[in-house]
């Protein structure tokens, strides 16, 4: 290998490494976390502002906790979660989490959008009635009768057709 070829290889490696590291130099490490709005009417009405578990635990592990709740509820029929402090809590996204964190767009979506993740919670759970028109609920489609279906419109229509005209 000639000396000039070696220089080209090292220059190419340097340029590649510089481009690969550019997002980190540009502020990838120092980007602040999104600010969550915890001042909802439901939370203000609580006698004590306390989540299922400690804040640090929930920030780091809520996805694992919700997946465990899902599995325990649907597979084992266990619908009560015992928190670390001994409280018994209903293991339910709709009845427990959304009771306080009422605005999905101001709470859930801010972090999920920032992290670039698309949780599958809303594949089964329906967004509460007053939040169905949220722009972030893109996987739900509006049917002809105004109902919201978790399925594409043609699947929902076929399901209605298979049920027949209904009671007479």
Residue 150 lies in a domain: yes
User: What is the predicted pLDDT for the residue at 116?
Assistant: 84
**pLDDT of 6:** 86
**How many structural domains comprise the chain?**
1
What pLDDT sits at residue 29? 61
Beta strands in the chain (DSSP E): 80-82, 88-90, 141-142, 148-149
Q: What range does the domain containing 79 cover?
A: 33-160
What is the distance between the alpha carbons of residues 32 and 127, in angstroms, rounded to a whole number? Answer: 28
**pLDDT average per 10 residues of sequence, the chain (168 residues):** 78 92 70 76 85 90 92 92 93 88 84 86 71 39 40 41 47
pLDDT of residue 152: 38
pLDDT of 143 reads: 38
65-103, pLDDT tens digit by residue? 999 999 999 899 999 999 999 999 999 988 898 888 888
Task: Report if residue 16 sits inside a domain.
Answer: no
The confidence score (pLDDT) of residue 13 equals: 93
Would 96 be classed as within a structural domain? yes
Predicted local distance difference test score (pLDDT) of residue 62: 92
Q: 41 with 101: CB under 8 angstroms?
A: no
Distance (Å, whole) CA 79 – CA 76: 9
**Position 17 in a domain:** no
Residue 28 lies in a domain: no
| DSSP at 131 | G
d(CA 121, CA 111) in angstroms, rounded, equals 14
147 inside domain: yes
Is 41 inside any structural domain? yes
- The answer to whether residue 22 is domain-embedded is no
pTM value is: 0.57
Tell me what pLDDT residue 32 has: 75
């Amino acid at each position: 290998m000639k000396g000039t070829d070696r220089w080209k290889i090292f220059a190419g490696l340097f340029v590649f490494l510089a481009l690969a590291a550019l997002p980190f130099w540009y502020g990838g490490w120092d980007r602040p976390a999104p600010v969550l709005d915890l001042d909802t009417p439901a939370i203000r009405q609580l006698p004590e502002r306390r989540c299922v578990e400690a804040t640090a635990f929930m920030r780091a592990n809520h996805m694992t906790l919700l997946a465990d709740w899902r599995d325990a509820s649907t597979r084992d029929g266990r619908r009560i979660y015992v928190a670390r402090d001994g409280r018994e809590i209903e293991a339910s996204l709709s009845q427990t989490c959304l009771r306080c964190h009422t605005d999905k767009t101001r709470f859930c979506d801010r972090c999920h959008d920032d992290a670039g993740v698309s949780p599958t919670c809303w594949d089964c759970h329906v967004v509460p009635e007053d939040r169905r028109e949220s722009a972030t609920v893109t996987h739900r489609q509006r049917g002809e009768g105004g109902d919201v279906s978790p399925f594409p419109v043609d699947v929902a229509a076929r399901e209605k057709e298979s049920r027949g005209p209904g009671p007479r």
